[in-house]
Amino acid sequence: MKVKALIAMAVSLGLSAAHAQEMSDEAIKERTKPYGELNVAGAQTAAATTAKARTPEEIFNGACAMCHASGLMGAPRANNAADWQPRLDERGLDGVWQNALNGINAMPPRGTCTDCSDDDIKATIEYMIEGI
Ligand code: HEC
């Protein structure tokens, strides 16, 4: 009886040690994630939102508005001709589209909408400039 109790204790200690090991492996994985996966909470929320939302307006509101509504970090403001016209004159729609896909300066690749297709991004840019 006493031996059984000791074995039970040893087993449960062993299990919790294994569990602790698992936890710290997880913690290490979390800490050693590639930099690109560490994202601001807002961007993660945006990506989660746009995973379901597919109209350009929804993509804009979910992923782009946080910068392109107010001009954060120099982002060209949506439907603001003064912000967009020089870029369109210089590179055309295809040029700004390529930069949006690849990222440029403070503009993150795909504007953080990692699951947006190339066409989703183009349609969202058209939505952003349709009023200029
Ligand atoms: C974290 C802020 C941020 C987010 C989010 C963001 N942008 Fe931008 N974007 C910028 C900034 C800053 C620039 C200006 C970059 C520069 O020219 O230096 C920019 C520029 C652009 C340009 C112009 C590129 C050019 O060649 O002039 C396009 C197009 C664009 N963004 C599209 C998008 C779209 C579409 C989304 C959403 C799917 C998005 N952006 C999300 C910050 C952001």
| CA distance linking residue 117 with residue 106, whole number of Å | 21
Ligand 1 probe mutation, 55, 58, 87, 107, most atoms within 8 A of CB: 107
What predicted TM-score, i.e. pTM, was given to this entire model? 0.71
Give the gyration radius of the chain's Cα atoms.
24
> Which residue has a Cα nearest atom 42 of ligand 1?
107
Q: At what angle do helices 81-102 and 118-129 cross, to 10 degrees?
A: 170
Identify the band that residue 22 occupies on the pLDDT scale cut at 50, 70 and 90: low
The reported pLDDT for the residue numbered 54 is 85
Cβ atoms of 128 and 75 within 8 Å: the answer is no
Contacts 24+ apart (CB under 8 A), 28-34: none
Output the CA 111–ligand 1 centroid distance in Å: 6
| pLDDT tens-place string over residues 52-100 | 558 999 999 999 999 999 999 999 999 999 999 999 999 999 999 999 9
In our burial notation (b when 16+ CB lie closer than 10 A, e otherwise), range 100-122 reads: beeeeeebbebbbbbebeeebbb
> Is 122's pLDDT higher than 50?
yes
Query: pLDDT above 70 covers what percent of the chain?
Result: 60
Task: Give the residues surrounding ligand 1 with Cβ less than 6 Å away.
Answer: 59, 63-64, 66-68, 72-76, 87, 91, 95-96, 99-100, 104-108, 110-113, 121, 124-125
Q: Does domain 40-129 match CATH 1.10.760.10?
A: yes
